[in-house]
Structure 1
Amino acid sequence: MKTLCIALFVGIVCIGKANSLWCYRCEDEPSNWNCMKMVKCAETDKFCTTTINSSGKDKNISYRLSKKCVPTCTENFIDTGLGSISTKCCENSLCNFSGANSVKMSTAVMAVGTLASLFYIFRSGL
């Protein structure tokens, strides 16, 4: 009987932990190193997010990161030419670890696409 009670207790504790979402949290930080604080999300929160704001041009680009728990999430990427805002969503504990890589990757993908388009236009003689 004692063994059954212990097994039941362990099962309840494990189920409770499995349903808890943990995310990294920070607000308007210049570096991902400042965004390593882990927080337990509210029961209503289902996503971890990372939002990256960039501003400036060329070598004068600055990044500001925010990470948090949210109940709903919509991924987006907006580039105004003078800056960009990117929001990434994920549903697993501590999945919002990464920082500015997503903005840099999106910019790199856009640059490669633009260069490929220009190459095609010049090669076809249009």
Structure 2
Amino acid sequence: MKQFPVVLVVAALCVQRATSLWCYQCENAHYHKDCKEVKCSDMDSYCVTAKNEITGQEVSVSKWCSSTCPKSSEKKGGKREVSCCQSDYCNGGASGVRSSFALLGTALLASCFYVLRTGL
């Protein structure tokens, strides 16, 4: 019976997404409020955020759904930093802070094993 919570957590972490991903979408926006919520296609598995820095211009951000995670790039006069995530609305907000479900799941599993081992 003690193993049931562990099995339940492992099963929950292994379940694949059954519905389409939701992301924010905008092109060269200066404020998050300029982005809108969109439902991605079933083929898309990433929410992408690209921070566009062009020398002498204000920094802008582009956000969209994607089936792949594009790479960051540098070009003459600026650079484009790209970050990708795989949960609903994870490319939102002004801060760009992302939570890691893998890290959270690992910490939860470690906690469960500790409790089971020590009998607390």
Q: TM-score, normalised by structure 1?
A: 0.54
**Secondary structure at 1:97's aligned position in 2?**
coil
Higher gyration radius (CA):
1
- Alpha-carbon distance in structure 2 between the residues aligned to 1:101 and 1:83: 20
Q: 1:76 to 1:100 in 2, by over 3 A?
A: farther
Task: Extract unaligned runs of 5+ from structure 2.
Answer: 1-16, 98-120
Q: Where does residue 51 of structure 1 map in the other structure?
A: 50
**Secondary structure at 2:59's aligned position in 1?**
strand
Q: Where does residue 27 of structure 2 map in the other structure?
A: 27
**Structure ranking higher in helix proportion:** 1
- Alpha-carbon distance in structure 2 between the residues aligned to 1:100 and 1:28: 16
- Alpha-carbon distance in structure 2 between the residues aligned to 1:39 and 1:96: 12
Computed over aligned residues only, the root mean square deviation of the Cα atoms, in angstroms, reads: 2.6
1:54 offset after TM fit, Å? 0.9
Aligned residues: 81
Q: Where does residue 90 of structure 2 map in the other structure?
A: 95
Could you tell me whether the CA contact under 8 Å between 1:31 and 1:63 is conserved in 2?
Answer: no
1:32 offset after TM fit, Å? 2.4
- What is the identity percentage for the equivalent residue pairs of Structure 1 and Structure 2? 33
- Alpha-carbon distance in structure 2 between the residues aligned to 1:85 and 1:79: 8
- Alpha-carbon distance in structure 2 between the residues aligned to 1:98 and 1:86: 16
